[in-house]
Amino acid sequence: MGTIEKLFESWRKHFENGGRFERWYPFFESIESVFFAPARVTENAPNVRDHLDVKRFMMLVIVALLPHYAFGVYNVGHLAHLASGLSTDFGAVVFTGLKTVVPLVVVTYMVGFFWETLFAVVRKHEISEGLFVSCALFPLTLPPTIPLWQAALGISFGIVIGKEIFGGTGRNFLNPALTGRAFLYFAYPAQLSGDAVWTQLLAGRNAPVDAFTSATPLAIAAVTDRLGDAQSALADSGYSITTLLVGTYPGSIGGTSTLLCIVGAVFLIILGIANYRIVVGCVAGLLATGFFLNLVAPEGSLPYLAVNPIYHLLMGGAMFGFAYMATDPVSAAHMPVSKWVFGFLIGALTVLIRVFNPAYPEGVGLAILFMNLFAPLLDHIEIKIRLKKRVPNV
């Protein structure tokens, strides 16, 4: 028996029946099972069970998100130094990024874990790992300037209202991280929208240096004057296709890099965790709708209508939402064909919200939440059709 195993064995008695912290057993169990899988064996057929459990399933999503954190830390620091006219030395940039991102992540995890543990203790079940994914996703969707107390409030809303009151992971019908994000947007628009929130300013500055564009690509595309051309407006602000693909522009902490999102989506699809139908459906819906708007846009209309659909995919957090939020298996559609429809409509709604609702520049979050509501209906229809094909057996 190794040292760590002995350590857990010595703590165990306090958490088991009759121990001092008996009620907090779920907390102990969730920590212990990260180190050692439990020794429980099957009692009925089938005698053997797969090695995959929900813990590993969720852990792999977090692994896919780690590059976003690395990128986010760099991007946040880099933009803050650019906007404040400081040196963009790699070490200093990363240090600034860490100073912003680490407290956000720590606060999010502490608050989220507190709620989950509380519900697990009251309901007497083990802590479900969905929480760790929600808490990993949530900070990546936030602007770097968000006050920590708002992050705490947002994740509380996401975990409690988005998930726990319906029974916890597996019984929620909305994506918890997005629910928290949407709550923050509507409750505190000042800290979650506008041009000022996406870049941190350091060294006591109130405004960025002159050469720095703090407007996000989505904001630029949305407010371009009539008769203007959104794409050239973006190019004028320094947002080339490459910049948009790599994601080195102001935006949410981890959602701007479309390239990393594609890598993450492919990783999750290869492992069978994200469903390719949803991701491909989302992208297809977005491109098709963007292209359709190009076709119907009359002369002299809103320039946003004429934006090349590829730009829609590259700007903002669309791909981040498609890869990690829409593919949440619990709140997505469950049936194969429904998944295509679900994905396609998310993509379509994302473009429609972006183009036709200037008050809400990023549409993907609301599009996913909206389709989360419709997923059960899509499933219901598909199941009914499938069951009709069976030879009855009663």
Partner 1 sequence: MKTIRIAKGYNLQLGGRPSTEVESLPEPARLALLPEHIPFIKPRLLVAVGQTVRQGTPLIEDKRNASVRFLSPGGGRIAEINFGHRRVIQEIVIERDAQEQAVAFESIAESELETFPRKRLIEAILAGGLWPLIRQLPFRDYAQMELEPPMIIVGLGSLEPFQPLPEVYLAGKESLFEYGLTALKRLAPQVHVCAPDSGDSLPDRLSSLVSLHYSGPYPAHDPGVILYRVKKSPEENRAWYIAGQDVLLLAHLLKTGTYPTERDIVLAGPSATTRKHFRTRLGVPLADITAGRREEGDIRHIEGGVLSGFVGSDQTYLGFYESAVNLLPEGNRKGELLGLFRPGYRRPSYSRTFISKLNKNDLVYDCNIHGGDRACIACGYCAQVCPVDILPQFAYKSILAGEVEESLEHGLLDCVECGLCSYVCPSKIELAETLHRARVNYYIEQSK
Q: Which of residues 187-246 bind partner 1 (CB under 8 A)?
A: none
Position 16 contacts partner 1 (CB under 8 A): no
How many other CB atoms are found less than 10 A from the CB of residue 204? 6
Question: Binding mask 320-359 vs partner 1 (x if CB under 8 A, - otherwise)?
Answer: ---------xx-x-xx------------------------
CA distances from 62 to 66, 67, 192, 207, 223 (A): 6, 10, 24, 35, 36
Check binding of 247 to partner 1 (CB under 8 A): no
Residue 87 found at the interface with partner 1 (CB under 8 A): no
- Give whichever of 99 and 334 is closer to partner 1, judged by the CB atom: 334
Give the type of residue at 144: P
How far, in Å, CA of 347 to CA of 339, rounded? 12
AA identity, residue 301: S
358-390: burial string, b at 16+ Cβ within 10 Å, e else: eebbbbbbbbbbebbeebeebbeebeeeeeeee
Contact 384, 348 (CB under 8 A): no
Q: How far is the CB of 388 from partner 1 (least distance, A)?
A: 9
Work out the number of other CB atoms within 10 angstroms of the CB of residue 106: 12
| DSSP state, residue 22 | G
Q: Please, what is the minimum distance in Å from the beta carbon of residue 329 to partner 1?
A: 5
Choice from 53, 67, 92, 306 touching partner 1 (CB under 8 A): 53
Q: Which is nearer to partner 1, 51 or 226 (CB)?
A: 51
Rule CB under 8 A: choose which of 40, 203, 225, 299 binds partner 1.
40
The number of residues that bind partner 1 (CB under 8 A) is: 59
| CA–CA gap between residue 284 and residue 344 (Å, rounded) | 6
Site residues for partner 1, 106-165, by CB under 8 A, read: 125-126, 128-130
Q: Contact with partner 1 (CB under 8 A): which of 17, 18, 20, 47? A: 47
Let me know: does 251 contact 44? Beta carbons within 8 Å.
no
Q: What are the backbone angles phi and psi of residue 86, rounded to the nearest 5°?
A: -95, 170
Which of 55, 67, 259, 288 binds partner 1 (CB under 8 A)? It is: 55
Look up residue 52 and give its DSSP letter.
-
253: its two tokens = 């902490």
Nearest to partner 1 of 33, 191 (CB atom)? 33
In the set 11, 14, 29, 381, which binds partner 1 (CB under 8 A)? 29
- Interface with partner 1, residue 66, by CB under 8 A: no
Rounded CA gap, 129 and 120, in Å?
12
Q: Give the span between the Cα atoms of 61 and 64, in whole angstroms.
A: 5
Closer residue to partner 1, CB minimum distance, 8 or 109: 8
10 lies in the site for partner 1, by CB under 8 A: no
Q: For binding to partner 1 (CB under 8 A), which residues are involved?
A: 2, 4-5, 29, 33-57, 59-60, 125-126, 128-130, 167-171, 270-273, 275, 329-330, 332, 334-335, 383, 386-387, 390-394
